[in-house]
């Protein structure tokens, strides 16, 4: 039996154990512990924001961001169709309407050239989501937001340590969100962060994270929030991970470049773009798309790789093709051909920080075999 190569394995060999032990020894395990504030401050500073609000996960960060901006009934929010459900769900749960744009065929990020055609008098915000390794082209997006007076939410969940034209991801728009799920460059097991420069917005996020308890009359509520608090245990992990972010990014980039070398020239395989004029690929995950020469789709390729002991994940499934939203009457007559194609033809290879050179070589060999 060959060893299975999982799609993701995190690296936890820095100060993680030391800080976790500190939590146990001091008894600070809830969200009241001191690591939470330290993690918020260090994280916000890292992306050049004034305020950080640590939360239970990246999906919750989006829920809070949408609510904090006051988006709701009758409001349209422009989002990429090629993203995780959390983006559309946060808008729908707030009572708003997500409006999708297709992907750029090369970077897989939202095609910002399509945004203006989706703007209506009801449009209130744009949610920019950077996917897989390259960033959304932010300058034209921000220009449109200025022109039409729209709020901007930046979902930078996959972009820890990435920059756009030298400026850190997490530094764009009114509010930015992150996730610390184990496949993200910084993990807390489960966790998320909201960052902003606006003190009032930060305070609203803190309140929404904590059930909208009121300082004066704790159990009297003017508004509904969530319990989306991050624990001291999670923040302990996060702090230890954050100390090593720069080396993680260097490691991810060298892994991406190694896959590029191993897979260059393989017929039927479209590889990720190493860079655009505004960003170098950070290879959050190493995604590939099967080209028309291949007579089967990603699902079949992933099945064949699994049989050879290689773990993979499919690409996102477009929001406009989600049964849950179709049942709500959303996205009728929407077509986004690029996202529809890459969703069916794309998947990603083992990309975790603990992946070894030898494992990458085996992944590349097996991939070539199943495509031959």
Ligand X SMILES: *Cc1c(COP(=O)(O)O)cnc(C)c1O
Q: List interacting residues with ligand X (CB under 6 A).
A: 57-59, 83-84, 86, 129, 155, 157-158, 179, 181, 192
Q: Hey, which residues does 346 pair with through a beta bridge?
A: 289
**If we measure between CA atoms, which residue out of 33, 85, 70, 24 comes closest to residue 54?**
33
Cβ closest to ligand X, residue 136 vs residue 145: 136
Cβ closest to ligand X, residue 62 vs residue 289: 62
Q: How far is the CB of 345 from ligand X (least distance, A)?
A: 20
Q: How far is the CB of 214 from ligand X (least distance, A)?
A: 27
Q: How far is the CB of 188 from ligand X (least distance, A)?
A: 9
CA dist 246 → 66, 93, 122, 275, 355 (Å): 30, 36, 41, 18, 17
CB-based closest residue to ligand X: 58
Cβ closest to ligand X, residue 94 vs residue 129: 129
* Alpha helices by DSSP H, 264-317: 298-307
The DSSP 8-state label assigned to residue 280 in this structure reads B
Q: How far is the CB of 84 from ligand X (least distance, A)?
A: 5
Q: How far is the CB of 239 from ligand X (least distance, A)?
A: 17
Q: Is 58 helix (H, G, I), strand (E, B) or coil?
A: helix
Q: How far is the CB of 325 from ligand X (least distance, A)?
A: 17
Cβ closest to ligand X, residue 59 vs residue 162: 59
Cβ closest to ligand X, residue 269 vs residue 346: 346
Give the number of residues written for the chain: 372
Cβ closest to ligand X, residue 63 vs residue 76: 63
Q: Is-contact 350 311, C-beta < 8 A?
A: yes
Q: Give dist(CA 140, CA 145) in Å, integer.
A: 9
Q: How far is the CB of 1 from ligand X (least distance, A)?
A: 31
Dihedral sign, Cα of residue 196, residue 199, residue 203, residue 208: negative
Q: Give dist(CA 314, CA 288) in Å, integer.
A: 10
Q: How far is the CB of 132 from ligand X (least distance, A)?
A: 9
User: What string of DSSP letters covers 241-260?
Assistant: HHTTHHHHHHHHHHHHHHHH
**Is the backbone of residue 146 left (phi > 0), alpha (psi -120 to 50) or beta?**
alpha
Cβ closest to ligand X, residue 86 vs residue 231: 86
Phi then psi for 110, rounded to 5 degrees? -55, 135
Cβ closest to ligand X, residue 90 vs residue 232: 90
Q: Considering only CA atoms, give the Rg of the chain.
A: 21
């Amino acid at each position: 039996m060959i060893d299975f190569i999982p799609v993701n394995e995190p690296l936890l060999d820095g100060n993680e154990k030391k800080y976790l032990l500190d939590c146990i020894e001091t008894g600070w395990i809830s969200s009241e512990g001191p690591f939470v504030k330290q993690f918020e401050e260090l994280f916000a500073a890292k992306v050049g924001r004034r305020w950080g609000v640590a939360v239970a996960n990246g999906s919750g960060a989006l829920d809070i961001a949408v609510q904090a901006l006051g988006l709701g009934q009758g409001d349209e929010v422009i989002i990429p169709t090629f993203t995780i459900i959390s983006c559309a769900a946060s808008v729908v749960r707030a009572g708003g309407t997500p409006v999708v744009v297709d992907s750029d065929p090369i970077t897989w990020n939202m095609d910002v050239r399509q945004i203006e055609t989706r703007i209506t008098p009801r449009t209130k915000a744009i949610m920019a989501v950077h996917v897989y390794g390259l960033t959304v082209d932010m300058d034209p997006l921000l220009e449109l937001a200025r022109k039409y007076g729209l709020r901007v939410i930046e979902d930078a969940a996959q972009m820890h340590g990435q920059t756009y034209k030298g400026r850190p991801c997490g530094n764009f728009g009114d509010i930015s969100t992150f996730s610390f799920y184990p496949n993200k460059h910084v993990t807390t097991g489960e966790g998320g962060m909201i960052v902003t420069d606006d003190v009032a917005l930060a305070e609203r996020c803190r309140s929404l994270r904590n059930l909208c308890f009121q300082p004066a009359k704790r159990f009297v509520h003017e508004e509904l929030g969530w319990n989306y608090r991050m624990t001291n245990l999670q923040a302990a992990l996060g702090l230890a991970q954050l100390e090593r972010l720069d080396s993680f990014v260097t490691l991810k980039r060298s892994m991406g470049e190694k896959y590029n070398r191993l897979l260059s020239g393989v017929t039927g395989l479209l590889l990720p773009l190493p860079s655009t004029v505004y960003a170098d690929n950070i290879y959050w995950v190493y995604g590939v798309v099967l080209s028309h020469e291949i007579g089967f789709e990603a699902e079949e390729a992933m099945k064949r790789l699994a049989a050879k002991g290689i773990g993979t994940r499919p690409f996102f499934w477009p929001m406009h093709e989600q049964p849950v939203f179709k049942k709500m009457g959303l996205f009728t007559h929407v077509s986004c051909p690029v996202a529809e194609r890459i969703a069916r033809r794309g998947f990603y290879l083992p990309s975790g920080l603990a992946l070894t050179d030898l494992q990458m070589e085996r992944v590349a060999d097996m991939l070539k075999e199943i495509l031959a």
